[in-house]
Structure 1
Amino acid sequence: MRLRIDAASTVPLYQQIHDQIILGLAAGELRPDETLPAVRQLADELNVNMLTVAKGYNLLKTEGYLISDRRQGTRVAADFQADKLFMQSLQEQLHLLTAAAKIRGLSVAELQQIITTQYQGFEQGE
């Protein structure tokens, strides 16, 4: 998987790294136990500070998407569970997005269709 960042974006670089890795996992571009580039190597490839990559990786580790050790480096976790912390975060994010959709006049059916289309896209590897 090739990560691309946009230095002109308002989204912080570490967040872009984080988000692209999650999208890569959902699309099947990254597999469980797959080794990721070392922090230094990815920082060089993206032309960013090592601390930026480390912050993105650490966030993914905290969320349970990545694991690392000195011998095997950083790799994709083998098992992902919808634990209590994930479900709480999901509820909070969906709450805000649902509120914004309601304010903008989307119907429940339209919102459900958007979610269904997104989910199916990941199932199809898009």
Structure 2
Amino acid sequence: MIIKIEPDSDIPIYEQISNQMIEGIARGHLQPGDSLPSVRAFASDLGINMHTVNKSYHQLEKKGIIRIVPKSGAIISSPQDFNEHSIERLKAVYQPLIAESLVVGMSVEQIHELISLIIEDFNKSHK
């Protein structure tokens, strides 16, 4: 999987890394149980500060997407790790996005269609 950093983006680099890793998992490029590169190696490959990669890994761990195992590194979590806390966290993320969608004039049907198209795009990647 290739991570593309956009230094001029308004999105912080650690979030760009996290978002692209999450998409990589959703698209099937990374699988549960896969090991991630060490923070130092990944930072070197990307040409960025290792603290940035470390922040991304800890963000992913907090979301339950990876597990950081001392002396073993970071490992992609399995979907069974999804729990009630994950639902509440995602609801908090979705709520302002859906509210914004409604405020700018999208109908409920358009929001559903957009979500369906995004999911369909991820599902195409698995085939």
> What TM-score comes out, normalization by structure 2 length?
0.91
1:44 alignment partner in structure 2: 44
Task: Provide Cα deviations, 1:6-37, integer angstroms capped at 9, x if missing partner.
Answer: 11111111111111111111111101111111
Q: Give runs of aligned pairs for residues 1-126 of structure 1, distance below 5 A.
A: 1-125=1-125
State the one-letter code of the partner of 1:76. I
Task: Calculate the aligned-residue CA RMSD, in Å.
Answer: 1.5
Closer, same or farther: CA 86–71 of 1 in aligned 2, 3 Å = same
Unpaired runs of 5+ in structure 1?
A: none
| Residues in 1 aligned to 2:59 and 2:32: alpha-carbon distance in whole angstroms | 17
Runs of 4+ in structure 1 off by over 4 angstroms are none
The alignment partner of 1:125 has SS state of helix
Q: 1:99 to 1:33 in 2, by over 3 A?
A: same
CA distance in 2, matches of 1:120, 1:81: 23
Could you list the runs of 5+ residues in structure 2 that have no partner in the other structure?
none
Question: Could you tell me the percent identity over the aligned residues?
Answer: 29
Question: 1:66-125 deviations in whole A, cap 9, x for unaligned?
Answer: 123244322212344431221112212221111111111111111100001111111121
Per-residue Cα deviation, 1:38-80 (whole angstroms, up to 9, x for no partner)? 1011111111110000000011112111123244322212344
Distance 2:45 2:120 in 1: 31
Q: Aligned residue pairs: how many?
A: 126
Mapped contact 1:65–1:80 kept (Cα < 8 A):
no
Amino acid at match of 2:84: K
